[in-house]
Structure 1
Amino acid sequence: MNTEDLIRSLSRDVPRVPRGALGRRLALGMVAGALVTALLVAGVLGIRPDLHSAMHGFSFWMKWTYTASLGIGSVMAVLRLARPNPQSLRALWWLSVPVLLLAGIGIGELASTPSRAWLAMWLGASWKVCPWLVLTLAMPIFIGLLWSFRRMAPTRLREAGAVAGLAAGAWAATIYCLHCPEVSAIFVLTWYSLGILLAAGIGALLGPKLMRW
């Protein structure tokens, strides 16, 4: 039996995978994790009392757009790496766009603020806890993504773990916006991004161990 006949023989009784099954499973894992994260924010941290008025201001949507943009881009990478023959990740260079845009907003803020107030703007009132809260809130979403990957066939496990952690961190930060009252772009760029990168780092470390199949 030649190789092609062997492949046909082995694949003869393999059921066809429904179209969109990959996306649905990833969505299920992420949504389940995000619901847990939302419950933690609402039940443990609490929703900011001025949320309704904050949603009419620029700062809230600045934060939300930044983190959601990173989350969408990361999910696209997760979809690529969940397959055994992933496509190139070079297209993800555009994830730098929201970072650069937020950096531009931050520079504008600094330029219009007296230098003596720069440190307070950068540190805010929660810089010591913000990255760790984002990392902690990312864990339920990361676990949901790990559950999704158990039925998939990734081959680049470290990269898959890193982008899963990046996606979990970005969406956790998006949900964390419901609690966080910080308004400075330079704060978000530094401390939100640090929490997201910590989640990506944890994913890169755990990916080779937890995503094997």
Structure 2
Amino acid sequence: MNTDDLIRHLASDTRPVARNSVARRLAIGIIVGGIASALLILASIGIRPDLGTAMQGASFWMKWGYTFSLSIAALVTTAQLARPDSGRLRGLWALAIPVLLLAAVGLLELARTPSSQWLAMWLGHSWKSCPWLVLSLSAPIFAGLLWSFRRLAPTRLRAAGAAAGLSAGAFAATVYCIHCPEVSAIFVLTWYSLGILLATLLGMLVGPRLLRW
């Protein structure tokens, strides 16, 4: 059997892949991981007692909008890297939009606040724990994305790991909003983003080992 015959024989039993199968599988992984992260919050640090009241204020939706939009932009990049030979990545610029918008909100907050209160706004009450909690909550979501990748075919493993870590970190920060009482945009921009960055770096480090196929 020559090479062309072998290729035709191997391809004869293949079935077409369903449209949006990559997005659907990634969504399953991140939703299951997100539920696990939410249960982890319930079992450990708990939901903020005034969540219902907080959801009526703009600061909650400011935080949630930042983390959720960042997670969606990161998932788009992750979906591209989940395919073999992903080529040039499209839409990376979208990752900067939530960051720039939140930075603008933070600057407006600082302009309206006496400089003597800036440090308190920046540090809040939980700056020491916030990044590490976001990183910890990203672990179940990252695990869910690893499950998703098992039936996908990434070839740029370090970049795919970083994108998965970024998606997991941003989605974990979204879940973390149900616990975190902080209201300052500059706090969210600094300490939430640090936790997301840590998850991204961890994904980049472990990607080549865990995503190999």
Q: How many angstroms apart in 1 are the aligned matches of 2:141 and 2:147?
A: 10
Q: How many angstroms apart in 2 are the aligned matches of 1:3 and 1:70?
A: 46
Q: Which residue of 2 aligns with 1:83?
A: 83
Deviation per residue, 1:180-213 (Å, 9 max, x gap)? 0000000000000000010000000000000011
How many residue pairs align between the two structures? 213
Structure 2 letter corresponding to 1:74 = A
> Which residues of 2 match residues 3-82 of structure 1 at below 5 A?
4-82=4-82
The Cα of 1:87 is off from its aligned counterpart by 4.3
The Cα of 1:104 is off from its aligned counterpart by 0.7
> Which residues of 2 match residues 1-213 of structure 1 at below 5 A?
4-213=4-213
* Structure 2 portions without partners, runs of 5+: none
> What's the secondary structure of 2:44's corresponding residue?
helix
Identity, in percent, stands at 65
The Cα of 1:132 is off from its aligned counterpart by 0.2
Alpha carbons of structure 1 residues 135 and 58: separation in structure 2 relative to 1, 3 Å = same
Provide the aligned C-alpha RMSD in A: 1.3
* Structure 1 portions without partners, runs of 5+: none
Deviation per residue, 1:82-139 (Å, 9 max, x gap)? 1112142242112111101110111111111111111010000000000000000000
Instruction: Answer whether contact 2:77 2:91 (CA < 8 A) is retained.
Output: no
| Bigger mean CA offset, 47-56 vs 173-182 | 47-56
Q: How many angstroms apart in 2 are the aligned matches of 1:87 and 1:27?
A: 22
Runs of 4+ in structure 1 off by over 6 angstroms are: none
Query: Which TM-score applies when normalising by structure 1?
Result: 0.96
Instruction: Answer whether contact 2:77 2:90 (CA < 8 A) is retained.
Output: no
Q: How many angstroms apart in 2 are the aligned matches of 1:23 and 1:41?
A: 27
> What's the secondary structure of 2:68's corresponding residue?
helix
The Cα of 1:47 is off from its aligned counterpart by 0.9
Q: How many angstroms apart in 2 are the aligned matches of 1:184 and 1:124?
A: 8
> What's the secondary structure of 1:45's corresponding residue?
coil
> What's the secondary structure of 1:83's corresponding residue?
coil
Deviation per residue, 1:56-78 (Å, 9 max, x gap)? 11100000000001100011111
Instruction: Answer whether contact 2:83 2:152 (CA < 8 A) is retained.
Output: yes
Q: How many angstroms apart in 2 are the aligned matches of 1:151 and 1:195?
A: 28
Deviation per residue, 1:27-83 (Å, 9 max, x gap)? 221111111101011221111111111111110000000000110001111111111
Structure 2 letter corresponding to 1:98 = P
Deviation per residue, 1:9-31 (Å, 9 max, x gap)? 22112233233322222122111
Q: How many angstroms apart in 1 are the aligned matches of 2:2 and 2:110?
A: 69
